[in-house]
């Protein structure tokens, strides 16, 4: 056989395609794989061994794809409901602050550790896993990356695109392995449980990021400074709605997320920022 691994890949890939587009009971596939393994043992050393092995790669690929799509019991997705609850988790990204008039919103991603669906008097905590996109309206405190926070609000599924051309939040968050959205309102709806360790490099990178932003403001005037901070540092707080609309009309608004979406082609400093960008 001139290209043995090509045959292996084709058979395994066929199983993945079948799992993706065909509804075949997993029990049947597991039974076929079990019978095939026994047949391999009986046919070891014979000419039919390789053929049976290639055939078994198809159910192996099928089950591999199916296993990756199974949602764990402690996944944060399973806790999505209309009830208000509290979440405890560690902040993974730089908080993105947006101010509009008297309103303020901070957004960041947390790695959830625990949720509590009970009350203060009768708590019902349980361990969960999964990343959550947080939107905190009128926050009482601005946490730093690496801090552990406890927030109280509503846990929802990412919003699906309803109209053509509309922003697809569900797809955007899925690409970043974020399973749910948590909406928090008010100063009393969250607090910092534990600050980041002094040995954690992430907060220091965040402070360096804002130090560079201050120097950009000293050297350049608006709107040049705002655009530079958005392109280089991923800080989009100073970009006004009118300026953002201009970039949207020209189809270049994605450049504001350079430090996030272009991480593979960005310079070294941007790669560090991209790791922790929301």
- pLDDT tens, residue by residue, 144-195: 888 999 999 999 888 877 777 666 777 778 778 888 899 999 999 999 999 8
pLDDT number for residue 35? 92
pLDDT number for residue 202? 79
Whether the Cβ atoms of residue 79 and residue 85 lie closer than 8 Å to each other: yes
Whether the Cβ atoms of residue 130 and residue 150 lie closer than 8 Å to each other: no
User: Could you tell me the two tokens for 199?
Assistant: 């040995």
User: Could you tell me the two tokens for 171?
Assistant: 């797809």
C-alpha distance from residue 32 to each of 28, 58, 120 (Å): 6, 10, 52
168-179 burial code (b ≥16 CB/10 A, e <16): ebeeebeeeebb
243-277 burial code (b ≥16 CB/10 A, e <16): beeebeeeeebeebbbbbbebeebeeebebbbebb
Is the peptide bond prior to 119 cis by the omega test (within 30 degrees of 0)? no
User: Could you tell me the two tokens for 233?
Assistant: 């540092």
pLDDT number for residue 229? 75
pLDDT number for residue 137? 93
Compute the distance between CA of residue 155 and CA of residue 27 in angstroms, rounded to an integer: 34
Q: Beta strands 96-100 and 103-116: pairing type? A: antiparallel
Q: Roughly what angle, to the nearest 10 degrees, separates helices 49-69 and 4-21? A: 40
Residues of the chain with pLDDT under 70: 1-4, 68-73, 165-167, 234, 236-241, 243-278
Compute the distance between CA of residue 30 and CA of residue 178 in angstroms, rounded to an integer: 30
Q: What is the dihedral of CA 170, 137, 237, 180, to 10 degrees?
A: -20
Instruction: Provide the 3-class DSSP secondary structure of residue 113.
Output: strand
> Domains in the chain, ordered, with CATH?
4-69 (no CATH), 76-194 (2.40.50.140), 201-276 (no CATH)
């Amino acid at each position: 056989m001139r290209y043995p691994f090509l045959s292996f890949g084709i058979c395994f890939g066929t199983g993945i395609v079948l799992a993706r587009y065909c509804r075949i009971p997993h029990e049947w596939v597991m039974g076929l794989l079990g019978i095939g393994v026994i047949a391999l043992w009986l046919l070891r050393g014979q000419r039919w061994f390789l053929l049976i092995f290639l055939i078994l790669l198809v159910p192996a690929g099928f089950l591999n794809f199916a296993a990756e799509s199974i949602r764990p019991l402690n996944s944060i997705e399973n806790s999505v409901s209309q009830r208000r609850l509290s979440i405890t988790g560690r902040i993974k990204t730089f908080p993105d602050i947006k101010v509009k008039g008297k309103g303020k919103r901070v957004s960041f991603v947390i790695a959830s550790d625990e949720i509590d669906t009970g009350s203060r008097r009768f708590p019902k905590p349980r361990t969960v896993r999964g990343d959550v996109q947080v939107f905190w309206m009128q926050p009482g405190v601005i946490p730093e990356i690496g801090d552990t926070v406890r927030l109280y609000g509503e846990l929802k599924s990412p919003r699906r695109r309803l109209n053509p051309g509309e922003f697809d939040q569900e797809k955007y968050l899925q690409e970043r392995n974020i399973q749910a959205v948590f909406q928090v309102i008010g100063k009393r709806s969250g607090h910092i449980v534990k600050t980041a360790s002094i040995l954690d490099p992430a907060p220091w990178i965040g402070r360096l990021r804002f130090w560079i932003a201050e120097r950009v403001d000293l050297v350049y005037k608006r709107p040049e400074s705002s655009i530079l901070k958005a392109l280089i540092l991923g800080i989009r707080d100073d970009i006004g709605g009118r300026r953002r609309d201009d970039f949207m009309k020209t189809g270049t608004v994605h450049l504001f997320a350079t430090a996030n979406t272009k991480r593979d082609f960005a310079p070294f400093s941007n790669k560090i920022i991209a790791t922790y960008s929301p």
